Structure 1
Amino acid sequence: MTELRSEWDDVGLASRVWERQTPDGHRVDLRVHVLRGERLVDLTALRDFLGEYHERDPAEWHLNEFPHDDGAGLHDDVQAFWLVEPGVAVSVLTLPEFSESLLPTARSIRADNTDAGQ
């Protein structure tokens, strides 16, 4: 596991990355980002930020709702995200071959363990 910190468009990201060695180098299997920023006021603002950050076309980014203990979240096949509270959000990304574990992994993350990189 590797911990990273970055900032993009006034949102701080504290990230944990799980990777494995492959014959060709390394491959990232899972990324968990804790996002902090004033612009993250609701789930719509979080979706808009992540769409810009990941360069997703809003018309082609099909998301479904999922329940999380912190509130409603959104997901596709490889990413799940939700607002912990205004200004704090979590995003979980994985590879398509691990899509079955995406929502169970996301639901296992609780507000009391989202202090990565604080």
Structure 2
Amino acid sequence: MGILAGLLAVLLVGAAHLPVPSGPSGPSAGRAGGDGGGELSGFVVGSVPERAGDDRADFATEWGGVAFTSRVWEGAAPGGGYRVGLKVNVLRGAALTDLAALRAFLAEYHEIDPGTWELDPFDHGTSPGRHGDGRAFWLEEPGLAVSLWLDPRRFGEPELLTTAQAVQRKA
């Protein structure tokens, strides 16, 4: 996957900010391979839905004082081009003090009206989280959170929650 396709992938999942490629040679790209998605910034992505895409790329960005380390899975779309299936973000920043602050931060980042953003609770181990409309997030500890987006046109909430539960802090 080329850098332009990677940039487009990030924009397609709602990020309004250009990514800064990770590593000295640009985005790390590879195949999703198997059921897992590998290690990402101290977390292991233990399960990736088969239809999320075979190509993946890593990016590092910063917005609002919060650093993002992101991995995007994409694949060929019917009619040409690429379609993002899954994006996992590890977020680090002082603004992420509790779940309410994380929700407020993500609502602003994704330009979602917090008053109309309907989310359901879920437990990610000992960390409470929220999910809805293809997004799931939880606060691992103050200053450290994980969010993910799974294309809601192709995947339901059960697949979203299964994918979220499979993202675990590396031991």
TM-score, L = length of structure 1 = 0.91
Is the CA contact (8 Å cut-off) linking 1:83 and 1:90 kept in structure 2?
A: yes
Following superposition of structure 1 onto structure 2, how do residues 1-118 of structure 1 map, counting pairs within 5 Å? 1-22=56-77, 23-96=79-152, 97-99=154-156, 100-112=158-170
Please say if residues 17 and 32 of structure 1, whose CA atoms lie closer than 8 Å, have aligned partners that are also in contact. yes
Q: 1:72-112, CA deviations, whole angstroms, 9 ceiling, x for partnerless residues?
A: 10010200000011100000101112123100000011111
4+ residue runs over 4 A deviation: none
The Cα shift of 1:59 comes to: 1.4
Check the 8 A contact 1:69/1:110 in 2, yes or no: no
> What residue ranges of structure 1 are gaps of 5+ in the alignment?
114-118
One-letter code aligned to 2:161: L
Letter in 1 for 2:163: T
CA distance in 2, matches of 1:11, 1:70: 23
Q: Which runs of 5+ in 2 are unaligned?
A: 1-55
For the residues of structure 1 that align with 2:122 and 2:165, how far apart are their CA atoms? 9
Structure 2: distance between partners of 1:31 and 1:102: 11
Residue aligned with 2:76, SS: strand
CA RMSD of aligned residues (A): 1.1
Shift of 1:58: 1.0
Work out the number of aligned pairs and report it: 113
74-83 or 94-103, which deviates more: 94-103
Query: Given the two structures, how large is their TM-score scaled by the length of structure 2?
Result: 0.64
Matched-pair identity in %: 48
Aligned AA for 1:57?
D
